[in-house]
Structure 1
């Protein structure tokens, strides 16, 4: 109970937890006058809740600064980073920053990308910002659906579901972003493999970087701001699963096996990465390990490592890869 209350208080301080506002597009039009609420794929508006902060209350980062991996001395070796290798020097985006900003609009090897992290779902995904409607840049709407971040694009102010990479409200409804290969690993694992790599420098914002405002979150039995069904097969809602398309492998199974080859992909697990959602200091979090997903030719495959409740919410007919 003490840990539960600490998370509750932390979410209030961060601005993520608030008494859910009534899901009413007419009300939201005052905050979002440029959004076309007449076009949406959301079946029931009550699925979308106000998380507390207004539009851009959680500020996305645009055009981040990078430094050489060898020059970074302030990040603990166990801390998680999102790794992007699309050409040129590999880049690491530390979760110590993404926890507080959730979206980074960047350009890698000439490709405009959005690096995203939703703490409430543990979902870290990288997208190509180019669409048939032009290149978009993204911000944090302050809204949640099934506890997952709702992003918005600054060009049309359409709303996007981070977990599915799909526009769900506004002119661009139905448009999807291309997910790019990326993965979460420890800072030590990144720099040992990429001594000449780059790492995102600390943003110029007054934030407690390196601290986890969601202390104890991934040890709870129930996620915040989620009223949907629990996962099937007795899987706890806050167990991490590796999602590839509409299939999900429980991390508990992969951790025990070390390596799984199924459904055309090879999943591997290696110890050494701290959970970003455990202790107050990210670097001290329990070891959740690093997952890589590759095809049969060794190429990295786009995937996500999210909580089981979020997979079930967005892929209710998805396949659970239980190995039995």
Structure 2
């Protein structure tokens, strides 16, 4: 009887973790099989969030599958040296950040399962964010007029893009691609976007040999060697409704989205004519220079005037949030 009661207690302790694990993996499983069924939020409260003062249409906010924190963001994660990063392959994509004399890389293979990394480089608190559905990479300064924020994954989507939430008492929702709060006290508050590049591990390490890199020892059991979004990336369809839509480019063509306080431009891979080249562009009176690497198929900003901001994403996502955009080469 002691053995049986002990077994029962163990099972009861295990069940909540098993349920949480199933929730956290649901979108990843469905995205690979492309069978996800979007659940539209019809109530004013969105799975634990008060949306009554939302600045985006509540009827267009959807559940991505996992609940709040079902996709666990990371905070102050372990970093290792480039020499220790033997788990990375040369063509693995990373988000690279340079702040002062420090350089740091965040592999998408890990971000696929966590989407937000609350980190600190020197004295600066940053949020490295990645939405696999939009292939969108943006790095934010976590300092705001509400204080220094820590972000989590809400489980909600707007235009197929992750809605973050801040772990304050009010839990405002924040749109990654709008770069601002969309509910609660943070509504309409802009986040400061920091310089970054989306590139390959080999290219980043070659340019930044002293870089540190996010360790796969995150405290979570995930197979970081397998991408749950491979099939989604290899076919043209979207998983969630998006509007507006433009067919000026392939929906999932990779673009560098660049903007200032008055203008926006999309620079697609197709604008480079299949050649490794640098081009200078301007937004109003501000100038910037971008480089395309044909071998890695990456676009990065190498020089920019103050006031220029950028992100990497799919065309459909950039257009949905910047329908007034220009397209380089068109």
Common fold by TM > 0.5: yes
Superposition pairs of residues 101-180 of structure 1, within 5 angstroms: 101-155=114-168, 156-180=170-194
Distance 1:310 1:131 in 2: 25
Task: Tell which deviates more after alignment, 159-168 or 245-254.
Answer: 245-254
Give the number of the structure whose residues are more often strand, by fraction.
Answer: 2
Q: Deviations over 1:30-87 (max 9, x none)?
A: x42xx44232211x22211001100000000010111111122111111011111012
- The corresponding residue for 1:317 is 324
Match of 2:39 among 11, 16, 21: 21
Conserved 8 A contact 1:66-1:200: yes
User: Secondary structure of 1:306's partner?
Assistant: strand
Structure 1: stretches of 5+ with no match in the other structure:
1-7, 274-288
- The corresponding residue for 1:216 is 231
User: Secondary structure of 2:62's partner?
Assistant: strand
Distance 1:311 1:55 in 2: 25
2:305 matches 1:268: no
Runs of 4+, deviation exceeding 6 Å? 13-17
- The corresponding residue for 2:278 is 259
Distance 2:52 2:137 in 1: 30
Q: How many residues align?
A: 294
> What is the root-mean-square deviation of aligned Cα atoms in Å?
2.4
- The corresponding residue for 2:267 is 249
Q: Deviations over 1:262-308 (max 9, x none)?
A: 212211111444xxxxxxxxxxxxxxx222113367x9964111111
Relative to 1, partners in 2 of residues 1:210 and 1:271: Cα closer, same or farther, differing over 3 Å? farther
Relative to 1, partners in 2 of residues 1:133 and 1:87: Cα closer, same or farther, differing over 3 Å? same
Match of 2:221 among 193, 206, 215: 206
Distance 2:294 2:122 in 1: 30
Q: CA deviation at 1:19?
A: 2.6
Superposition pairs of residues 52-63 of structure 1, within 5 angstroms: 52-63=65-76
Distance 2:220 2:265 in 1: 38
Q: Which has the larger radius of gyration?
A: 2
User: Secondary structure of 1:24's partner?
Assistant: coil
Higher relative contact order (CA 8 A, sep 6+): 1
Match of 2:210 among 190, 196, 201: 196
Conserved 8 A contact 2:36-2:239: no
- The corresponding residue for 2:301 is 293
User: Secondary structure of 1:253's partner?
Assistant: helix
User: Secondary structure of 2:83's partner?
Assistant: helix
User: Secondary structure of 1:317's partner?
Assistant: coil
Distance 2:162 2:194 in 1: 18
